[in-house]
């Protein structure tokens, strides 16, 4: 399918919507969905080229913080009711912890970041080993963030500072949203619940075996379940 043309938000030149940068002014480009009509537009554009809706600039006390990837000041934006900071140089996105959790939980908020036409039963995944491992500093506190494979199995590696927020490289926020809308997060949670249930069944079986072994050993004073459980935990942990 031929990519539709949009206008570069920096110089106004016509650019294909799938372009990573403007061929004229070389500005890095990132497409988002218009919060009004959900048509694709470039982040930073003042108006949607489809419906003409004016985009909103977020008022953030943290605007201008350094991008953890390229150290350039980030710009504040508001998309779909969500305040975020975005680096115009590398295309990455910074979200505070509350906003990121809201996007993960609210399908209406997700719609502003999802690519139209992506089947919900299929979600793109990325190979976390395809990129050089680099620990990034939190733009708020400066401490190195934790690299996390979102949902444990999505292949989308994000950088998390628990007290302050989450950093997502270019297009990773859209990939996270499409993973969630494709059922990936629900499946990951179901798999985790099944794994915990299996571990509990295994622990219960080993506890019964240990209790029976203690009785057969003819102890005058039988060890308590707490004592047996402690022994099992120590053996499981190593």
pLDDT tens digit sequence for 56-110 = 554 555 567 899 999 999 988 887 778 889 888 888 999 999 999 988 888 767 6
Q: 49 and 60 share a domain?
A: no
Place 169 in a pLDDT band, splitting at 50, 70 and 90: very high
CA–CA separation, 84 and 76 (whole Å): 6
Best CA proximity match to 72, nearest among 94, 56, 98, 95: 94
Quick one: DSSP state of residue 222? P
What band does 6 get if pLDDT is binned at 50, 70 and 90? Answer: confident
Residues 143 and 219 placed together within one structural domain of the fold: no
Are residue 90 and residue 191 in the same domain, yes or no?
A: no
Helix (H) or strand (E) holding 237: helix 225-237
Answering whether pTM is above 0.75, one says no
Q: What is the pLDDT of residues 119-167, one digit of tens each?
A: 343 444 455 555 568 899 999 999 999 999 998 888 899 999 999 999 9
Domain identity same for 111 and 41: no
pLDDT score at 141: 93
Mean pLDDT calculated for residue range 169-175 = 88
Q: Which domain holds residue 17?
A: 1-53
Residues 62 and 167 in one domain: yes
Average pLDDT across the chain, whole number = 75
| Boundary-marking domain end, from 160, 182, 204 | 182
Residues 110 and 154 in one domain: yes
* Number of independent structural domains in the chain: 3
Q: How many angstroms separate the first and last alpha carbons of the chain?
A: 56
Domain boundary, last residue among 53, 69, 93: 53
| Per-residue model confidence (pLDDT) at position 2 | 38
């Amino acid at each position: 399918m031929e990519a539709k043309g949009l206008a570069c938000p920096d110089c106004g030149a016509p650019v294909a919507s799938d372009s990573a940068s403007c061929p004229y002014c070389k500005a890095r480009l990132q497409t988002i969905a218009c919060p009004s009509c959900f048509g694709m537009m470039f982040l930073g554009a003042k108006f949607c080229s489809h419906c003409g809706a004016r985009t909103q600039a977020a008022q953030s006390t943290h605007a201008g913080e350094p991008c953890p990837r390229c150290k350039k000041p980030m710009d504040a934006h508001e998309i779909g009711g969500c305040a975020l900071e975005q680096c115009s140089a590398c295309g990455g996105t910074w979200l505070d912890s509350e906003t990121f959790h809201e996007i993960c939980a609210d399908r209406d908020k997700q719609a502003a970041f999802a690519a139209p036409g992506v089947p919900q039963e299929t979600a793109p995944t990325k190979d976390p080993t395809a990129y050089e491992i680099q620990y990034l500093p939190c733009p708020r506190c400066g401490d190195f963030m934790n690299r996390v494979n979102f949902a444990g199995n999505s292949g989308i590696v994000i950088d998390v500072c628990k007290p302050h927020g989450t950093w997502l490289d270019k297009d990773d926020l859209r990939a996270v949203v499409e993973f969630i809308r494709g059922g990936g997060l629900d499946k990951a949670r179901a798999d985790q619940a099944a794994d915990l249930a299996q571990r509990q069944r295994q622990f219960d079986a080993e506890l019964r075996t240990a209790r029976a072994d203690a009785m057969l050993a003819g102890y005058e004073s039988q060890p308590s379940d707490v004592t047996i459980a402690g022994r099992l935990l120590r053996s499981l942990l190593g």
